Amino acid sequence: MLRKGLRIGCCGFPVSRDRYFKDFDVVELQQTFYQPPELRTIERWRDGSPRGFEYTIKAWQLITHEPSSPTYRRLKIRIPPSRMRCYGSFKPTDEVFEAFELIKQIADILGARIIVFQSPASFEPSTGNKENMKRFFSIIKRDGLILAWEPRGMWKDDEIRGLCKELDLVHVVDPFKAIQVHGRIQYYRLHGIGGYKYRYTEEDLKRLGSMIDAQRNTYIMFNNVHMYEDAISFKRLYRG
């Protein structure tokens, strides 16, 4: 049995849901980033999940990414060219707030407590971007949600720490690439050492285990090609 407060899982379902439910008790939904499913689909997922299973939610790209991002190719709604500037980068616009409200609805249906906002590398630590974040996170209603932020690009630790403290955000990291500088919980997203095709070794997984803070709730979420196998291996190793 894993210790209380430790959750191990994957970013998305790499195998069938039924098989996944047998092995893990948490998943980070990825569909919500590209194009959130209809609410009746979310309700069906909830009703088909075992008791005690936990969902975390990756925030919709309309909140974090500009329409120039290649990820928008998987978006199913049409954005008029005249409104393109209203999306992404945490801009305090009606469009961005509406996108968050939909994600919040999904979290409520699933009983999810954590929403992960992943910024693209193009979201630089400029004054404008920081101000967007401050306005966005100060306006939205959290209603008890834990909001987690995974910055990418050229952000410095003191910039991340300052924003996370001010805005009450959990700093999300890949622990093999960066150190978490703030957060009431640990939330690790493992993207593969050197790339998504990487397969973690037993030595890697032992090192990962040493990075767990026993005093905090910890989420270990694999997000590489071999995520299912690596999560299984880590679960067995850590249990052992």
Q: Which residues contact 213 (CB under 8 A, 6 or more apart)?
A: 186
Secondary structure string (H, E, C) spanning 204-221: HHHHHHHCCCCCCCEEEE
Query: At residue 40, does pLDDT exceed 70?
Result: yes
Mean pLDDT calculated for residue range 13-30: 97
Residue 127 contacts residue 163 (beta carbons within 8 Å): no
State the pLDDT confidence band at 194, using cuts at 50, 70 and 90. very high
Whether 90 is in a domain gets the answer yes
Provide the pLDDT for residue 102. 98
What is the residue-averaged pLDDT of the chain? Answer: 96
User: What value does the mean pLDDT take over residues 148-167?
Assistant: 97
How far apart are the two ends of the chain, measured CA to CA in Å? 9
- The tokens for 239 are 């249990």
What type of residue sits at position 77? I
> With bands split at pLDDT 50, 70 and 90, how would you rate the model's confidence at 193?
very high
Residue 190 — very low, low, confident or very high, per pLDDT cuts 50/70/90?
A: very high
pLDDT-derived band at 238, boundaries 50, 70, 90: confident
Per-residue pLDDT for 57 more than 90? yes
Task: Give the tokens for residue 200.
Answer: 């973690």
Do the domain assignments include residue 184? yes
Residue 181's pLDDT band (cuts 50, 70, 90):
very high
Domain-embedded: residue 44: yes
Per-residue pLDDT of 116-148, as tens digits, reads: 999 999 999 999 999 999 999 999 999 999 999
User: Is 80 exceeded by the pLDDT of residue 3?
Assistant: no
Residue 1 lies in a domain: no
Residues 6+ apart with CB under 8 A from 134: 163, 166, 167
pLDDT band at 239 (very low <50, low <70, confident <90, very high): confident
What's 130's domain CATH number?
3.20.20.410
Q: Which phi-psi region, left, alpha or beta, contains residue 88 (left: φ > 0; alpha: ψ -120 to 50)?
A: left
User: Could you tell me the pTM of the whole model?
Assistant: 0.96
- What six digits make up the tokens of 181? 């500088």
pLDDT for the residue numbered 240: 59
- Cα distance between residue 120 and residue 22, in whole Å: 33
Amino acid found at 108: D
Let me know how long the chain is.
240
Q: Is the confidence at residue 1, as pLDDT, over 60? A: no
- Token pair of 112 as six digits: 């999810």
Q: Which residues, at least 6 apart from 7, have a Cβ–Cβ distance to it below 8 Å?
A: 25, 26, 54, 217, 218, 219, 220
Residue 212 resides in a domain: yes
Q: Which among 116, 103, 102 has a CA at the least distance from the CA of 27?
A: 116
Number of domains within the chain: 1
pLDDT band at 4 (very low <50, low <70, confident <90, very high): confident
Spatial distance between the Cα atoms of 103 and 81, rounded to a whole number of angstroms: 24
Q: Is residue 217 part of a domain?
A: yes
One-letter identity of residue 55? Y
Query: Confidence class of residue 2 from pLDDT cuts 50, 70 and 90?
Result: low
What residue numbers bound the domain in which 203 lies?
Answer: 6-239
